[in-house]
Amino acid sequence: MTSTLTRPKKPSTMTSATARRRKATAPYYFLIPASSSCYWAWLPHRLAVHHCLPEVRHPAAVRQAAGVRRLRQLRHLATDGDLWAVVGRSLAFCIITALLTLGLGILFAVLMNAVSKAPRLILQVAMLLAWAMPVVAAMTVWIWLFDRRRGAINFLLDMIPGVNMYRFDWLAQRSPSLPSPASS
C-alpha cells in the first residue's frame, strides 16, 4: 500500500463563491453614475412640469384659478397632435443617427483591424483630426470676433458714438458692462 503525500491546503480567507459574488456585483456599481446622470437630465423637465402645476401651499382664489389654467394648458399640450409628431420625429432622428454612428464605428474598427500598421496610423490620425476640427473652428471664430486689433465685435462696438472699444482686449480686461464668457 502506498500513501501519497499531499500538501496541506492554505486556509483561504475568501472562498471562490465569495469571489464570484463580488465579480458579479461589480458591474452594478456603474449604475450609480448612470442613475445620477439620468436624474440630472430629467431635472429641468421635472421643474418645468412643477411650475405648471397649481401651488397647494397658498390656497388663494387667484392662485387656484391660475393653477387650473396651467393644468388646462398642459392637458391641451399633451393632447395636441403636433407635439407628438415632433416628439416622434425627434426620437426617430435620435435612433437613426445613433444606429448610423454605431454602424460607422464598427465599420472603421473592422477596417482598422484588417489593414497593416501604416494605414491604421493614417486612419487614426484622420479620425483624430475630424474629432478635433470643430474645436479649432470655434477657436478661430472666437479670434475673428474678439481679437483686440482686428475683431469684428470691437469694430462694430467702436462704431457706436461714445463707445471707445478700439484695441479693447476682451480676455485681459474685465468690463463690468460687457462680461466675456472666457474671462470669467
The closest alpha carbon to 110, from 120, 121, 95, belongs to 120
How confident is the model at residue 183, as a pLDDT? 46
How confident is the model at residue 2, as a pLDDT? 61
How confident is the model at residue 83, as a pLDDT? 84
Which residue in this structure is represented by grid cell 470655434? Answer: 138
The verdict on residue 3 lying in a domain is: no
Whether 41 and 75 map to the same domain: the answer is yes
Domain encompassing residue 168: 119-184
The verdict on residue 16 lying in a domain is: no
Helix (H, G, I), strand (E, B) or coil at 44: helix
Model's pTM, two decimal places? 0.42
The verdict on residue 48 lying in a domain is: yes
What residue type is 89 in one-letter code? R
> In a 10 Å sphere around its CB, with 0-12 CB exposed, 13-18 middle and 19+ buried, how is residue 180 labelled?
middle
Whether 88 and 99 map to the same domain: the answer is yes
The closest alpha carbon to 163, from 150, 151, 178, belongs to 178
How confident is the model at residue 77, as a pLDDT? 78
**Number of independent structural domains in the chain:** 3
What residues contact 55, with CB distance under 8 A and at least 6 apart? 63, 67
How confident is the model at residue 93, as a pLDDT? 95
Could you list the mean pLDDT of each consecutive 10-residue stretch along the chain, which spans 184 residues?
A: 61 61 72 79 74 57 58 78 88 94 91 90 90 88 82 82 77 58 48
8 A C-beta contact, residue 55 and residue 63: yes
Last residue in a domain, options 66, 92, 114: 114
How confident is the model at residue 184, as a pLDDT? 44
Neighbours of 159 (CB within 10 A): 9
Residues 154, 178: Cα–Cα separation, whole Å:
12
